[in-house]
């Protein structure tokens, strides 16, 4: 008997209707803590994807005419509902990702913050005016929506990353087709239900499910104007090249290898506390996780305390309040992390803590990896070069801040980095010279709030306009420049002149 037949099916959301797919191809959705299948997700047909795009295109014609304050009020209503259902959404995230309660709640809250920023859309879409660029001639710019936008989102933040995308795009006057990760489709559907409840018109948001074949349909569709993506480096490169090759505007967020530099004058108690959480939180499955610590000079004396700190944390089920993090998303993800740990040992790194044989009582089939710490790591080793995406921290030692900055700048990724120090001069040199888009000073994970933008650099990002904040509005809009002249004889006069305001 086919197990998938008895599982609840995840619907598509097309033209304002939650509908079952007509496809014959389905994938299981699995709870990674138990390895139990909890739902089945369709690989949408070509006709279903085309219908979603067509519906979004038709909805755009009326949605673009909705006044900006009304679009802002929709976002205010939506953020209110998201707050009301915050804990429910977090529980849903835990069921399909295995995240513990704190991580899942943070996932939802960071998404809510972006929706709140989308409610400020009117001020973000203001143009510019210069009077008298020539005699009696004025020039001004208008910010206008593009049309149908699309988002392709990963498994690790099922609420936050979709909410990075479609609220800002829709608030700016566009419509949106979302393709969430096939591993975590349930949260996206619930987000759409709440968006509809908030008053979103039919067709403004569409959701289709699938894998590479469905992504390619979206990338090749002529009516889709923009593509937003978050995922691995190879896929980001493919999305960017394919999307731009078909004339689309693309922002593709890729991999990361985030370094924390620890200076000898840093508060080592704070270093250990922040470093452990940023390395293993969310099982290391986040693009802003600290996966490399660079110990400068005598800062290497922190290693025993770091080893002790990491040895005291453990993974567990989402309802385990003592667990620091949950399982990896899949058996394949676990196998990849274990293979890299094995490679690190084989290449000569010192495995201070080995989480390869981790087990969690009552969950024998979960995808568990314990906290893992390496010292004596060299830049040539695979555990340094590759994004592990697991609860693995590698330690390198250098003699100076200059060497640390050079090390980071040689790494192909440039997503996030941080420095822990008591020296303002060291912090100033670091933030000025490091070639990384997001920098923390005594902050381990420098993710900006949504009134700024998420700004990965180099191999961590393909494109030129980043997520949320002002850059997202620029990404989802086009600027129109108007140069106008009115002649004196056009001024109406007389008793019959009437001004109508609406």
Question: pLDDT tens digits, residue range 38-96?
Answer: 999 999 999 999 999 999 999 999 999 999 999 999 999 999 999 999 999 999 999 99
Mean residue pLDDT of the chain comes to 93
Same domain, 181 and 330: no
- Asked if residue 122 belongs to a domain, the reply is yes
Show the tokens assigned to 192. Answer: 């759409």
446 within domain boundaries:
no
With respect to residue 452, please indicate whether it lies within any of the assigned structural domains: no
In this structure, the number of other CB atoms found within 10 A of the CB of residue 199 comes to: 12
- The beta strands (E) that lie in 381-427 are given as 392-398, 413-414, 416-420
Burial class (CB in 10 A: 0-12, 13-18, 19+), 425: exposed
Residue 138 sits in the same domain as residue 41: yes
CA-to-CA distance for 2 and 128, rounded, in angstroms? Answer: 61
| Angle, helix 101-118 to helix 68-84, in steps of 10 degrees | 160
Q: Are residues 185 and 329 in the same domain?
A: no
Residues 233 and 278 in one domain: no
- Same domain for 304 and 172: no
Does 191 lie in the same domain as 116? Answer: yes
Any catalytic annotation for residue 351? Answer: no
Residue 200 pLDDT > 90: yes
- Domain contains 455: no
Do 238 and 103 lie in one domain? The reply is: yes
Asked if residue 453 is part of any domain, the answer here is no
The reply to whether 97 and 197 lie within a common domain is yes
Which tokens hold the place of 10? 């995840």
Predicted pLDDT of residue 496: 60
Q: Do 192 and 104 share a domain, yes or no? A: yes
**Catalytic residue (one of 149, 150, 287, 358):** 287
Cβ contacts of 55 within 8 Å, gap of 6 or more: 14, 15, 16, 202, 203, 206
**In 3D, which of 23, 13, 387, 43 has the Cα closest to residue 181?**
43
Residue 243 lies in a domain: yes
Answer with the one of 441, 460, 493 that is the final residue of a domain: 441
Q: Is residue 6 part of a domain?
A: no
Give the whole-number percent of the chain exceeding pLDDT 90.
86
Q: What is the per-residue pLDDT for 130?
A: 94
Question: Domain ends where: 425, 441, 457?
Answer: 441
Q: What is the CATH number of the domain that holds 286?
A: 3.40.309.10
Instruction: Give the structural domain span for 476.
Output: 12-253+468-482
Instruction: Say yes or no to pLDDT of 502 above 60.
Output: no
Position 438 scores a pLDDT of: 85
pLDDT tens-place string over residues 409-429? 999 998 889 999 999 999 999
Record the tokens describing residue 69, joined without a space: 């304050």
Please count the other Cβ atoms lying within 10 Å of the Cβ belonging to residue 148.
27
Q: What is the pLDDT of residue 288?
A: 87
Distance CA 159, CA 193 (A): 13
- pLDDT tens for residues 227-252? 999 999 999 999 999 999 999 999 99
E-strand ranges in 422-470 read: 438-441, 457-458, 461-462
The CATH code of the domain that includes 157 is 3.40.605.10
Same domain assignment for residues 387 and 346: yes
Number of domains making up the chain? 2
Residues 284 and 232 in one domain: no
Q: Cα–Cα–Cα angle for 389, 183, 85, nearest 5°?
A: 100
105 shares a domain with 224: yes
What stretches of 153-213 adopt beta strand conformation (E)? Answer: 175-179, 205-207
In a domain, 188, yes or no: yes
Give 449-496 pLDDT, tens digit per residue.
888 888 888 988 998 888 888 889 999 999 999 999 998 776 666 666
């Amino acid at each position: 008997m086919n197990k998938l037949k008895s599982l609840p099916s995840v619907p598509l959301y097309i033209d304002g209707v939650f509908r079952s797919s007509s496809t014959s191809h389905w994938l299981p959705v699995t709870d990674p803590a138990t390895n139990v299948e909890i739902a089945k997700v369709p690989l949408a047909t070509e006709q279903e994807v085309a219908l979603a795009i067509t519906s979004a295109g038709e909805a755009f014609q009326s949605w673009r005419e909705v006044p900006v304050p009304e679009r802002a009020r929709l976002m205010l209503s939506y953020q209110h509902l998201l707050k009301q259902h915050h804990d429910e959404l977090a529980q849903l995230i835990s069921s399909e990702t295995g995240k513990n309660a704190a991580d899942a709640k943070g996932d939802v809250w960071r998404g809510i913050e972006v929706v709140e920023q989308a409610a400020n859309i009117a001020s973000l879409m203001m143009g510019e005016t210069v009077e008298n660029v020539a005699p009696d001639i004025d020039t001004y710019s208008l910010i206008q929506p593009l049309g149908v936008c699309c988002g392709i989102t990963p498994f690790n933040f099922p609420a936050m990353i979709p909410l990075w995308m479609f609220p800002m795009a829709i608030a700016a006057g566009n419509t949106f087709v979302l393709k969430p990760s096939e591993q975590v489709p349930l949260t996206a559907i619930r987000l759409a239900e709440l968006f509809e409840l908030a008053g979103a018109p039919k067709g403004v948001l569409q959701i289709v499910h699938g894998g590479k074949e469905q992504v390619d349909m979206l990338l090749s569709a002529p009516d889709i104007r923009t593509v937003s993506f978050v995922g691995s480096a190879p896929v980001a490169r493919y999305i960017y090249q394919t999307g731009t090759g078909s004339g689309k505007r693309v922002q593709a967020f890729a991999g990361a290898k985030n370094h924390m530099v620890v200076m000898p004058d840093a508060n080592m108690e704070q270093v250990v506390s922040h470093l452990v959480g940023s390395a293993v939180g969310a099982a290391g499955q986040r693009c802003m996780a600290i996966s490399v610590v660079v110990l400068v000079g005598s800062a290497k004396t922190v290693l025993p305390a770091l080893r002790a700190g990491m040895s005291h944390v453990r993974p567990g089920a989402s309802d385990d309040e003592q667990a620091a993090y949950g399982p990896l998303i899949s058996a394949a993800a676990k196998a990849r992390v274990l293979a890299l740990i094995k490679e690190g040992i084989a290449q000569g790194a010192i495995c201070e803590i080995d989480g390869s044989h981790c087990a969690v009582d009552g969950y024998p089939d979960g995808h568990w990896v314990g906290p893992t710490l390496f010292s004596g790591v060299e830049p040539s080793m695979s555990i340094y070069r590759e994004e592990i995406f697991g609860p693995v921290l590698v330690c390198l030692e250098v003699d100076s801040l200059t060497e640390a900055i050079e090390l980071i700048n040689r790494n192909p990724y440039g997503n996030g980095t941080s420095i822990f120090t008591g020296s303002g001069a060291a912090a100033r040199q670091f933030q000025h010279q490091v070639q990384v888009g997001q920098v923390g000073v005594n902050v381990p994970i420098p993710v900006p709030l949504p009134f700024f933008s998420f700004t990965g650099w180099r191999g961590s990002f393909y494109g030129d306009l980043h997520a949320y904040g002002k850059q997202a509005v620029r990404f989802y809009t086009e600027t129109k420049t108007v140069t106008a002249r009115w002649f004196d004889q056009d001024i109406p006069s007389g008793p019959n002149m009437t001004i109508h305001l609406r």
